[in-house]
Amino acid sequence: MNHAALPSWHDGEVRSAILRFVDEVTGPGESFLAPEERLAVFDNDGTLWPEKPMPVQLHFLAQRWKQMAAADLSLAGREPYTSAVTGDSRWVDSVITEHYDGDDSRIPVLIDAVVAAQRGLGTGELADSVREFFATAQHPGLRRPYTACAYQPITELLALLRDKEFSTVIVSGGGRDFMRVISRSMYGVHAHQVIGSAADMVWSDSRGTVVYGDGAPLVDDGPEKPVRIWSRLGRRPVLACGNSNGDIEMLRYATANGPGLGLLIHHDDDTRGEVCYTTGAERALAEAQRRGWLTVSVKDDWSQLFAGDL
């Protein structure tokens, strides 16, 4: 076991179990996996970086919706444009909370606004606007750039796994093309290793590029996650890390057959700028206990949250 690995993790049962699993599947023995079988998948919001007070992409979209409402005043009286104009995220938060509780009655309204925010944009145009957002935007609670909000313990885990010849892939309910812009610089994950919700796209012959269309996007969450992993990669993961009810099926997929490790991040620390919450993760926490997944306590298992913290 590598005692110098994962320096931002407290010594304890969780850290030891992670290192033991990595040793077992990469060293000689009955649990050995060839490098091509070593696939680790990670959720993004709440797993790789904070998702409270709102997911980062919704901050980006709120700016776009505010611009759209200024250009078309008729939008200002409709959600989520009203929330964007007033700077009140409670409506969006409530829709997401309902989604994780199994109620998607208002999700179509949110999805329609997401589609409208990028309709007609070329892929390069969207990427440029995302880069512009990350150049200045800050986390409203932590008062630090979003690009400095990667959870240090998870980036250490990603680096350890790659050092052991694992493929590390992001599998998120967030927008695929939003994450691709910063996935390599923040997490060392290449753009082609990002799986996420994807808008309808079409080829524009006149512009010579791919543009975002009008069709409903594929939402990569819950049972869709293992489907997308297989359809994109043709491989079953052996390690999965998530934090919410939307990650249950992905965690089950990684741990159902043969050697597999499931990690569930539990946001139970409100002393270091983190938001303490279980909303949207109640079923996942129960499943973790029932199925033997490792519940990672932010409070007890992580000695620091972000690079540069003491």
Is the pLDDT score of 1 beyond 70?
no
Domains within the chain, CATH numbers bracketed = 13-51+149-301 (3.40.50.1000), 56-136 (no CATH)
Q: What is the DSSP letter of 165?
A: T
Q: Tens digit of pLDDT for each residue in 216-238?
A: 778 899 999 999 999 999 999 99
Concatenated DSSP letters of 19-66: HHHHHHHHSSSTT---GGG-EEEE--BTTTB---SS-HHHHHHHHHHH
88 Cβ neighbours under 8 A, 6+ residues apart: none
235 Cβ neighbours under 8 A, 6+ residues apart: 36, 37, 39, 229
pTM of the model: 0.95
* Distance in angstroms (rounded) separating the CA atoms of residues 299 and 265: 10
Q: Cis link prior to 80 (omega < 30° from 0)?
A: yes
* Distance in angstroms (rounded) separating the CA atoms of residues 7 and 200: 42
Q: Tens digit of pLDDT for each residue in 142-184?
A: 999 999 999 999 999 999 999 999 999 999 999 999 999 999 9
**What letters, b where the CB count within 10 A reaches 16 and e where it falls short, cover 50-81?**
bbbebbbbbbbbbbbbbebbeeeeebbeebbb
Partnered with residue 263 across adjacent β-strands are 241, 294
Confidence label for 309 from pLDDT (cuts 50, 70 and 90):
confident
Are 280 and 286 spatial neighbours (Cβ–Cβ below 8 Å)? no
Rounded mean pLDDT of 65-90?
93
Is the pLDDT score of 213 beyond 90?
yes
Q: Tens digit of pLDDT for each residue in 127-140?
A: 999 999 999 999 99
Partnered with residue 195 across adjacent β-strands are 171
Is the pLDDT score of 258 beyond 90?
no
In this prediction, residue 100 carries a pLDDT of: 79
